[in-house]
Amino acid sequence: MVWGVNHSGLGWVAYDCCMDGCLFCGIVAGEIPAEVVHRTARTVAIRDINPQAKTHVLVLPVEHHEDALALAAAAPDVLAEVVAAGAAVAEAEGIAESGYRLVFNTGPDAGRTVFHAHLHVLGGEQLGYFGRL
């Protein structure tokens, strides 16, 4: 069990999550500061430090799972909660009605840079099409 500060000002909370050296585990544990915009018992949503859209929020499961595939296999209920948290973030950020994108990057060709499952919530502007660079 790790105790960490909730950076949204809601006090200290306990997390049973962490993997040494994982950036997102450090954020969940309160060891690394981040702008928390939404929280549930099993998810933490933070602003992306390198936004790719006007609104770019990452929804992290509190538990460490390497990617969406591992999360789905080990804890499908948590995966569902991550997606629900993404929808709640879109609503809170005012982008639910205009539209938003939910994205998991899995595997080397997807450009994943942090090996802790996370959902990108992107919106607030017209987004480009998927495809090649």
Query: In one letter, which amino acid is 118?
Result: H
**Cα–Cα distance list, 36 to 58, 64, 128 (Å):** 10, 18, 26
What are phi and psi for residue 29, nearest 5 degrees? -75, -5
Nearest to 61 by CA among 102, 116, 7: 116
Annotated catalytic residues are 118
Contacts for 23 with CB less than 8 Å, ≥ 6 apart: 32, 114, 116
